Structure 1
Amino acid sequence: MTDVATQSVRDGRRAGFAMLVGLALGMVAANSPLADIYAIVHHLPLRVGAGTWAIESPLIEWINQGLLTVFFFLIGLHTNHELTRGALSEPGAAMLPASAALGGMIVPAAIYFGLNAGDTVALRGWAIPIATDIVLVLGVLSLFSGRVDPAVIAFATAAAIFDDLGAVAIIALFYGELHQLWPLWMVAGGLAGLILLNRTRWPSLVPYLAFGCILWAGFVLSGVEGAIAGAIVGFSLPLSSLPSKTVAAAERRISPFALLLVVPLFTFFNGGVVLDFVPADPQARSVAIGIAMALIVGKPLGILAGTLLALRLGIGTLPHGTSMRDAIGVALLAGIGFTMSLFIIGADFDVTPIARTAKLAVVSSSAVAALLGLIAFKIR
């Protein structure tokens, strides 16, 4: 197994375990005598800045739009690296996972739409099942360390990356409400600065981060999800012009913080669902069924449809050393929608009974998808 694949598996094992611990602790806190304290801390108001430049939000928002920015930056940086220097840098190498990811977004969304047609509130959750959680997928694949070809890991990672990019684009286009116009100037300035730095191949990381902070503040103040600024900054870096040691050092420092602290904190505060076992109202039940069917059935069908389409059209080939059995296993694992799904639930339904039911549906459906993927790789 290559060094890159080995590192990906190792990171996936550790981060996946940390994420599940965060989720378990959140569930325990929300369903124990600590529930009141958990709720108080969850919504603890925090204010940063002064006057009209101040941002005041509960702690959960600072985690979802502040700390999670670091995780999104890691996604953008990893995608940038794969497209410029990694497994997707060769001409046509990205077509198969891109086609698979596109199918894996369209089919689940279509299933969710079909099951919730006519309900305008429930339809707000159409994007919940479109993204794959790359951390947990790598965590599951780590259980087969040494028995899974590195090409399978590369294919699964690439498809998940394109999924995440699609989710980031959808969040940017369809989520958030514009409350004021002047923050748009900050967004425009941040984007312009990043584009200028990229075009001039500026060799220092600091200016990118500075303009990224401006972009992040503009997103938050204009009502757009601020965390996506991280992905934009990571994707804007001209890796060929930056010293490779600088990029590698930055990634080594950021990765443990993002995967072992930020994401577990996110799951702890977003995954604490109250298990009161009270029957959900029809609207919440419809949302849950839509999510479950989209993740467990729609995601694998979409991934396989996109893969077969690319193979039939001749625009992509399976990586050397992989087969359609491997593609089926990856497609089943793609139903693990977690971090992005919980993030979108918060943007869709805030703190409501529908949100609680939707989170439970994501957690349980992701568990089923992981089990099916484990079985598929076990018998391959």
Structure 2
Amino acid sequence: MSSNTHHKPRHRGLEILQEFSIPLISGVILAVIWANLDPHGYHHAIHWSPFGAESHFNFHFLMNDLFMVLFFGLAAKEIAESVLPGGALNPIKKAVNPLLGTLGGVLGPIAVYFAWVSITGDASISKGWGIPTATDIALAWLVARLVFGKGHPAVSFLLLLAVADDAIGLGIIAVFYPDPNHPVAPQYIALVGLAMGAAHLLRKKGVLSYWPYLLGPGVVSWLGLYLAHLHPALALVPIVPFMPHAARDEGLFAENDDADHYHDTMNLFEHELKLFVDIGLLGFGLANAGVEFSSMGNATMAVLMGLVIGKTVGIFSFSMIGQVAGFPLPQGMNWRSLLTAGFVGALGLTVALFVSGVAFTDPTLQGSAKMGALLSAFVAPLAFLVGKLLRVRDGVDLGASETEVIELSDTELTPAYGSTEGLHEESHEEISDEDHSDVEYEERVQ
């Protein structure tokens, strides 16, 4: 990146679109209206292919198997950076309580889901247990800031929780939801390993542009997963951590509109593609949220209760157990803000819709499960109400909490996979303005 490159500030309208997840919500609303007014027309448009009825190359494929590669790639970027100094998982001691909450937020929904299966005796929906396990990162961040206020430590707590349980969610998708129509072909998984080796080589050679990582190892990883009959949307998850990145985490959803501020490959990847991904979620919502109201059934209630009851109770109880065991809540949080955070964590729109599509092949069960994911959006006003009743904004120190990710402009690069020797020593050095020039930056990377 040239040091003289000038970047126009982002338009405020685009910021609002991203901040309030308007494209995703618009796509969901449009899909629901279309599917209920003209279900045949909706499904024909989503699954029509120019290559014939037997071809899988349709709008649904473009969104779920191609576009979502970038979505999960950005999620992998947040997970990889969270282990860096200043990141939410570094040092591990400050992350113990939120990670216990994450564990509760995964096990709680699974327990409630299977409890509903047992109560109803409907074994046909049992495969959907993974649907309510993940939290929608963007929506949780948005609602948390509105409920608690931007500086409240519960916002950072929820971001850590959402990133961690999305990491678990990615594992659940990869391991427990292979393509039911095609058995796994494990020999092709070797292509993913080959792609990781190629990404490692690119980093060793000092390649700073993220495009070679996407178009080289990323494509090979996608082909490996696709041919292995695993979900190719996860193709960038093992590749992104090899991108060069800053020695310190910039912070989840770091608010800096100056592209020149981002020197490292990983942050440039997010900064330059996040707008495209956020707007593209309109297409994802349109392709996945077209559910008829008549689709409501046992899977709807299992998913919804798994999210609302399982998430809330799981997060609250496991974090309180951690508190009693000597792993305190972040400074500035108490049981009231923790309970409210549990409700916010029950927002499971994006990943829940995705998992609904891979958990069930029966259109009726799939639609029923997706309806549960869609109805979880109504948790937002419930979280507002709980926050008001418990007065979570009152008397809270809005300074930096133990889990809050700090922002530093240290541009020393370190791979997420591989040696971190000298990382801590470098992070304490004072870096002059000259050290931020592109020439010296490239010398340090190489």
TM bucket normalised to smaller = 0.7 to 0.9
Q: State the match for 1:24 in structure 2.
A: 29
- The answer on whether the counterparts of 1:12 and 1:135 sit within 8 Å (CA) in structure 2 is no
Structure 1 residue 41 and structure 2 residue 56: aligned? no
Partner Cα separation in structure 1 for residue 168 and residue 189 of structure 2:
22
Q: State the match for 1:307 in structure 2.
A: 319
- Over 3 Å counting, the alpha-carbon distance change for 1:181 and 1:331 in structure 2 is closer
- The answer on whether the counterparts of 1:12 and 1:136 sit within 8 Å (CA) in structure 2 is no
Amino acid at match of 1:16: S
Structure 1 residue 220 and structure 2 residue 222: aligned? no
Partner Cα separation in structure 2 for residue 164 and residue 232 of structure 1:
15
- Over 3 Å counting, the alpha-carbon distance change for 1:150 and 1:179 in structure 2 is same
5 Å matches for 1:1-380? Answer: 14-33=19-38, 35-45=39-49, 56-91=56-91, 92-117=93-118, 119-144=122-147, 147-177=149-179, 178-194=183-199, 200=204, 202-204=206-208, 205-209=210-214, 210-240=216-246, 244-261=263-280, 263-275=281-293, 277=294, 285-314=297-326, 316-350=327-361, 352-364=363-375, 366-379=376-389, 380=391
Render the CA deviation track for 1:237-294: whole Å, top value 9, x for unaligned: 3424798344333221111111222x2211111111123x37x6xxxx3222211221
Larger radius of gyration: 2
- The answer on whether the counterparts of 2:196 and 2:239 sit within 8 Å (CA) in structure 1 is no
CA RMSD of aligned residues (A): 2.7
Partner Cα separation in structure 2 for residue 351 and residue 320 of structure 1:
47
TM-score by length of 1: 0.84
- The answer on whether the counterparts of 1:203 and 1:241 sit within 8 Å (CA) in structure 2 is no
Partner Cα separation in structure 2 for residue 306 and residue 206 of structure 1:
41
Query: Relative to structure 2, which stretch is displaced further, 226-235 or 301-310?
Result: 226-235
Render the CA deviation track for 1:124-175: whole Å, top value 9, x for unaligned: 1010110111111122234347x34342211110000011000001111111
Partner Cα separation in structure 1 for residue 374 and residue 27 of structure 2:
13
- Over 3 Å counting, the alpha-carbon distance change for 1:332 and 1:241 in structure 2 is closer
- Over 3 Å counting, the alpha-carbon distance change for 1:328 and 1:253 in structure 2 is same
- How many residues are matched? 353
- Over 3 Å counting, the alpha-carbon distance change for 1:232 and 1:93 in structure 2 is farther
Report SS of the residue matched to 1:244: coil
Query: Relative to structure 2, which stretch is displaced further, 14-23 or 176-185?
Result: 176-185
- The answer on whether the counterparts of 2:191 and 2:221 sit within 8 Å (CA) in structure 1 is yes
Query: Relative to structure 2, which stretch is displaced further, 24-33 or 337-346?
Result: 24-33
TM-score by length of 2: 0.72
* Shift, 1:300, TM fit: 0.5
Partner Cα separation in structure 2 for residue 89 and residue 182 of structure 1:
34
- Over 3 Å counting, the alpha-carbon distance change for 1:232 and 1:43 in structure 2 is same
Structure 2: 5+ residue runs without aligned partners? 1-11, 249-261, 392-446
- Over 3 Å counting, the alpha-carbon distance change for 1:180 and 1:249 in structure 2 is closer
Query: Relative to structure 2, which stretch is displaced further, 10-19 or 172-181?
Result: 10-19
Amino acid at match of 1:43: H
Partner Cα separation in structure 2 for residue 88 and residue 248 of structure 1:
16
Render the CA deviation track for 1:13-43: whole Å, top value 9, x for unaligned: 635222211111111111224x433222211
Report SS of the residue matched to 1:77: helix
Partner Cα separation in structure 2 for residue 352 and residue 241 of structure 1:
47
- Over 3 Å counting, the alpha-carbon distance change for 1:29 and 1:286 in structure 2 is closer
Amino acid at match of 2:304: A
Q: State the match for 2:411 in structure 1.
A: none
- Over 3 Å counting, the alpha-carbon distance change for 1:286 and 1:351 in structure 2 is closer
Report SS of the residue matched to 1:232: coil
- Over 3 Å counting, the alpha-carbon distance change for 1:253 and 1:206 in structure 2 is closer
- Over 3 Å counting, the alpha-carbon distance change for 1:194 and 1:37 in structure 2 is same
Amino acid at match of 2:168: G
Render the CA deviation track for 1:289-326: whole Å, top value 9, x for unaligned: 21122111111011112211222222x33222222221
* Shift, 1:68, TM fit: 0.7
Report SS of the residue matched to 2:348: coil
Report SS of the residue matched to 1:83: coil
Bigger proportion of residues as helix: 1
- Over 3 Å counting, the alpha-carbon distance change for 1:286 and 1:66 in structure 2 is same
Amino acid at match of 1:336: L
